[in-house]
Structure 1
Amino acid sequence: MTYIAKPKLHHPSLVKNKAGYTRRDYEGAVSTLCAGCGHDSISAAIIQACFELDIQPHQVAKLSGIGCSSKAPTYFVGASHGFNTVHGRMPSVMTGANLANRDLIYMGVSGDGDSASIGLGQFAHIMRRGVNMTYIVMNNGVYGLTKGQFSATADKGSISKKGVANSDESIDLVSLAILMGASFVGRSFSGDKHQLVPLIKAAMAHGGAAFLDVISPCVAFNNHAGSTKSYEYVREHNEALNRLDFIEGREEITT
């Protein structure tokens, strides 16, 4: 990790989008997360998506809870509005902000511990209410800040870094989001920017509750043999994440 500040000057040859901004204009502070953390790749994908969508940085409002993932908003769109809430309560604050100002582009960034454990009820209700936002969960299956305990999204049978097998069933946030009525739901992998960037762009352009569950390996505590959320395991099983299921709308069948 590093604490070196980024230079404020931009090279004059940097390409600008239709809004007049370079990709650098959508960056934030230098990340202090572990080198190789999947969360930084998601931040980079958000930066690229905002650049390609020609978004005005001051039109973005980003909110987070508590955890490694909740530090990520510091690292993208630095000229936007930002608020770091308490553990598991980001959906309530984002709902209130959305009611106060409908003109902003809302992005909630959370982790599997923040949304699938202490914040599970809040997660379900913000999807049920259909708040106009993009909600991204950086899902690594562990509590990184407290040294690698299983989170609620850890797959049953997966092995911890200490060699302990997880005996609990996992919570699938994608299935829950669909059940609660989210109108845009997707899953991706932090190591696949070619899929992740278009998904983030689509979610941000969607008018309604858009949810993305992004598998984001923790290099410190969940990137080993036996983990089902390691870089090696996800890349070996990436066909499941790359498959696109599209259900075409049809007229209601009546008898």
Structure 2
Amino acid sequence: MSFQKSKFHHPRLPLNELGLSYRDYEGSLSTLCAGCGHDAISAAVIQACHELSIPPHRVAKMSGIGCSSKAPNYFMNRAHGFNTVHGRMPSVTTGANMANRELIYIGMSGDGDTASIGLGQFAHVVRRRLNMLYMVANNGVYGLTKGQTAATADLGSHSKSGETNLFADIDLCVMALQLGASMVGRSFSGDKKQLVPLIKAALSHRGFAFLDIISPCVTFNNHATSTRSYDYVHEHIKAAGVVDFVPARTEIVSKFDNQKLEDICLHDGSILRIRRTDDDYDTHDSRKAVAAIEEHKAKGEILTGLLYIDPTPQEYHEMAGTSATPLSRLSQEDLCPGSRVLANINASFR
């Protein structure tokens, strides 16, 4: 049996600055389990890209293997896409980014694809500060292969079959902070008001932006003893800050009370507005962010929101001095300047 998404849509759907509706940013009909948090993440990406008026053809969707890595098929069907082998999304994205820095790179991964087989790849794409948005749909299990415990599962948590996790979890936000990510945030797939602004800010951030998104697996990790279930996450979330993304061209009135605010100007002129819940929380100090994550984890809480941001970071192209022109548009003379230039390069290393 095959299914097709209806092409019908309301004739008066709101249009963005490009004249595109929300439906123009959708993808194929999802084959994930009904109620899967990954579909909520896809919907958040669709909303963020639509509201930012991002041309779909300027986006490259990159993924690996797993339930989460299927998700890019369900948003922005007019974008470029590449589904890599398990755990190798970062290296393929790096190669694509080197060839064409003009595209907007969205990497979609999971706890297995990133924290297990792809852990080494993840570490190096962070430290290289590749200009991309890297999202992990984190459910703590391997949902595609019947619910084995993932490396991000909490110590002492129980699988659906009753098995106890004997190992400490890998906290990907902590790892990203320690390796030099210039924007780090954590959210919950069921909290669209927090997730959409974080995605919009990450897409506008020039540098390596990492989002760890708790996304419960309704089939294998939504039971009473799970620490990744909908009920558990709802009861243990602690927000580091409420985020309101303000595009550079239009002002958005914040919807929260007039409390202590912080406006962070991103490189493209957009504003990231934060309301702090803790007076001493500093979004510009990565070491304090790590300490805050660990402090709340010790209380059984999941710290969400914008955890860290460097508003003026260096990204890989600036560090390496690469060509601003995509390789496909370079001339033969640029690519092969001749033996004299090669001799000068070789001489510079002697």
Is the contact made by 1:138 and 1:215 (CA closer than 8 Å) also made in structure 2? yes
Aligned residue in 2 for 1:106: 105
Kindly state the Cα deviation for residue 167 of structure 1 after the two structures are TM-superposed: 0.6
The residue number in structure 2 matching 1:175 is 174
CA-to-partner distance for each residue in 1:198-232, whole Å, 9 max, x for gaps? 00000000000000000000000000011100000
Alignment of 1:142-221 (within 5 A): 142-221=141-220
TM-score by length of 2: 0.69
Partner of 1:117: 116
Compute the displacement of 1:9 (Å).
4.4
Paired residue for 1:67? 66
> 1: distance between equivalents of 2:54 and 2:235?
35
SS of the residue 2:165 aligns to: coil
> Equivalent residue for 2:44?
45
Q: Which residue of 2 aligns with 1:252?
A: none
Which protein has greater RCO, CA pairs closer than 8 Å, 6+ apart? 1
Q: Which residue of 1 aligns with 2:303?
A: none
Task: Count matched residues.
Answer: 249
CA displacement at 1:92 relative to structure 2: 0.2
Task: Give per-residue Cα distances to partners, 1:118-154, cap 9 Å, x unaligned.
Answer: 0000000000000000000000000111111100000
Report the CA distance shift for 1:241/1:68 in structure 2 as closer, same or farther (over 3 A): farther
TM-superposed deviation, 1:238: 1.7
* Matched position secondary structure for 2:144: coil
Structure 1: distance between partners of 2:236 and 2:8:
42
Aligned equivalents of 1:241, 1:194: Cα separation in 2 = 14
How far has the Cα of 1:4 moved from its partner?
Answer: 2.1
Structure 1 unmatched ranges of 5 or more: 250-255
Deviations 1:174-214 (A, max 9, x none): 00001110000000000000000000000000000000000
Letter aligned with residue 193 of structure 2: H
Match of 2:283 among 243, 247, 252: 247
Deviations 1:61-88 (A, max 9, x none): 0000000000000000010000000000
Per-residue CA shift, 1:13-63, capped at 9, x if unaligned? 111001111000000001000000000000000000001101001010000
Secondary structure, counterpart of 1:239 in structure 2: strand
Distance change >3 Å, CA 47–CA 149, structure 1 → 2: same
Q: CA RMSD in A?
A: 1.6
C-alpha distance in 1 between matches for 2:51 and 2:194: 14
* 1:253 aligned residue: none
TM-score (norm 1): 0.94
Cα distance in 2 between the residues matched to 1:48 and 1:203: 14
Task: Report matched runs for 1:223-238 at 5 Å.
Answer: 223-238=222-237
The superposition leaves residues 70-121 of structure 1 with CA deviations (integer Å, 9 ceiling, x where unpaired) of 0000000010000000000000000000000010000000000000000000
d(CA) in 1 for partners of 2:2, 2:222: 25
SS across alignment from 2:135:
strand
Corresponding letter in the other structure for 2:213: V
Aligned counterparts of 2:53 and 2:110: Cα–Cα separation in 1: 27
Q: CA deviation at 1:8?
A: 3.0
Q: Does the Cα contact within 8 Å between 1:43 and 1:73 map onto a contact in 2?
A: yes
Query: What residue ranges of structure 2 are gaps of 5+ in the alignment?
Result: 243-275, 286-350
Larger radius of gyration: 2
Instruction: Give the Cα separation in 2 of the matches to 1:226 and 1:241.
Output: 26
Q: Which amino acid aligns with 1:130?
A: R
What SS does the aligned partner of 1:145 have?
helix
Identity %: 67
Q: In structure 1, what residue type is equivalent to 2:228?
A: K
Alignment check: 8 A CA contact 1:195 1:242 kept? no
Per the alignment, residue 16 of structure 2 pairs with: 17
- C-alpha contact (below 8 Å) 1:185/1:211 kept by paired residues: yes
SS at match of 2:109: strand
The residue identity in structure 2 corresponding to 1:230 is: S
Q: Which residue type is aligned with residue 81 of structure 1?
A: H
Q: Which residue does 1:29 correspond to in 2?
A: 28
Letter in 2 for 1:214: I
More moved, 47-56 vs 8-17: 8-17
